[in-house]
Structure formats: C-alpha cells, structure tokens
C-alpha cells in the first residue's frame, strides 16, 4: 500500500465531511434516540464494506488483465477527486438542514440498520468513490485485492469511530454541527484537501 499516512488523513477528511450519511444519522438520532443512531451508522458502514469488496475484486481483475488499464483508472480517480473537491465548495448544508427540519418530527419507520445499509449500497456515488479513491494507494507490484480490502476496512473503521462520536455528542452539539457556517467550513476544508491531492496525483504521473 502506498503512503498509508496520506490515505488515513484523506479518509478522515472524507468521513468527517457533512453529507447524506450525516443527515440520515442526525435525523434518526433526533427522532428515535442514540440506539437507532448507532444502528443507522452500522448499516451505512456495512454498506461501505460491500462497496469495498466489489471494488477490490473488480479492480484487481482489471489489473490482472492490463496494468495500463489500471493506470487509466487511477488517472480517472485523480480527476474525480478534484471534481469532488470542487463540488465541496457548493455546500449542500442548507439542503440537508431542510430535509432534517421537514422529517425530524416524523415517526421513524423500519429498521435503522437496513435503512442505512440500503441507502449506502444503492448509492452509485459511493460505488464510484470507492472505485476511484482506493486505487490511488495500491502498489501494483503486490496483491491488489488484499490491499484494497485492507484500505476499505480501515476506511470503514474510521467511519464507525466518527459516527459513534457524532451520535454520542449530537444532543449537545447538534445545533452547532448543523449550522450552515460550520458545514460550509467543513465542506471547503475537505474540498481543498481533495483538490490538492488530486492535483498531486496528476502531476506525479507526468514524470
């Protein structure tokens, strides 16, 4: 695995960036309590593992067929990271806040775990993210599938830790965390990191 520290730091930025997962967990915790918030978080991270294994076996198959094709995937990944970074400056915090405002009084329906799981597994943007993010750190001279699975597990563990902390303190910090200014700041910080990392990858490949 290439540059483990960079992978971990970048993953933390991505995990902590406000998004649909944060909105779902916040809504469920507010309407049904911590227990459902934890279940929702576990469902979302379980979905991330599904994407991890799908990406691991799919991308390793590409590598076995053609190293050039795998390199192209990594180029596309660098471009996609830059795209994600630019998109982060167009904050969706207000939209998430409106969704929570409209739904927080509604009674929760169905299993929190299943809701989180399916919302993640069926989200094509998550699949694209895993297919483009993880390959950036693969050492093609080693077992690609194993590296991808390890990275996916690390990403999932970071997600679980962050979501647990978020749920525990949400009753105390909810208003602050969900304010447009705080979410905008987090979005922009994540955007800068993603753009910088994507540019670094693109420039390195030109040597």
Does 9 or 193 have the greater pLDDT score?
9
Does 203 or 47 have the greater pLDDT score?
47
d(CA 64, CA 158): 30
Query: What is the structure's pLDDT at 207?
Result: 42
Main-chain dihedrals φ then ψ at residue 141, nearest 5 degrees = -90, 0
d(CA 72, CA 141): 16
Does 100 or 193 have the greater pLDDT score?
193
Query: What is the structure's pLDDT at 206?
Result: 44
Residue 156, pLDDT > 50, answer: yes
d(CA 157, CA 127): 18
Q: How far is CA 198 from the centre of its chain?
A: 16
Query: What is the structure's pLDDT at 191?
Result: 75
Query: What is the structure's pLDDT at 201?
Result: 65
Least confident of 102-111, 141-150, 194-203: 102-111
Residue 108, pLDDT > 60, answer: no
- The Cα-based distances of 90 to 14, 98, 102, 183, 191 in angstroms read 15, 16, 22, 11, 10
Q: What pLDDT, in 10s, does the model give residues 2-50?
A: 578 888 988 898 888 777 788 788 778 776 778 998 999 999 999 999 8
Q: What is the mean pLDDT of residues 132-155?
A: 84
Round the average pLDDT of the chain to a whole number and report it: 77
- Give the dihedral of Cα atoms 204, 7, 163, 156; nearest 10 deg: 110
d(CA 79, CA 86): 11
d(CA 15, CA 28): 18
Which of 35-39, 54-58, 166-170 is the most confident on average?
Answer: 35-39
d(CA 180, CA 40): 23
Query: Which of 94, 65, 106, 79 is CA-nearest to residue 194?
Result: 79
């Amino acid at each position: 695995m290439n540059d483990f520290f960079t992978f971990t730091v970048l993953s933390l930025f991505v995990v902590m960036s406000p998004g649909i997962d944060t909105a779902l967990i916040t809504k469920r915790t507010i309407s049904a309590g911590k227990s459902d918030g934890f279940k929702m978080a576990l469902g979302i991270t379980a979905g991330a593992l599904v994407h991890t294994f799908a990406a691991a076996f799919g991308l390793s198959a590409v590598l076995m067929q053609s190293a050039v094709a795998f390199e192209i995937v990594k180029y596309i990944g660098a471009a996609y990271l830059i795209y994600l970074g630019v998109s982060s400056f167009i904050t969706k915090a207000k939209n998430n806040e409106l969704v929570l405002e409209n739904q927080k009084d509604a009674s929760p329906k169905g299993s929190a775990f299943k809701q989180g799981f399916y919302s993640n597994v069926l989200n094509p943007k998550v699949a694209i993210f895993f297919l483009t993010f993880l390959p950036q750190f693969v050492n093609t001279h080693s077992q690609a599938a194993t590296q991808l699975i390890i990275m996916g597990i690390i990403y999932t563990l970071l997600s679980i830790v962050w979501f647990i902390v978020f749920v525990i303190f949400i009753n105390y910090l909810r208003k602050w965390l969900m304010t447009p200014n705080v979410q905008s700041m987090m979005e922009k910080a994540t955007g800068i990191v993603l753009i910088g990392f994507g540019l670094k990858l693109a420039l390195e490949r030109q040597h």
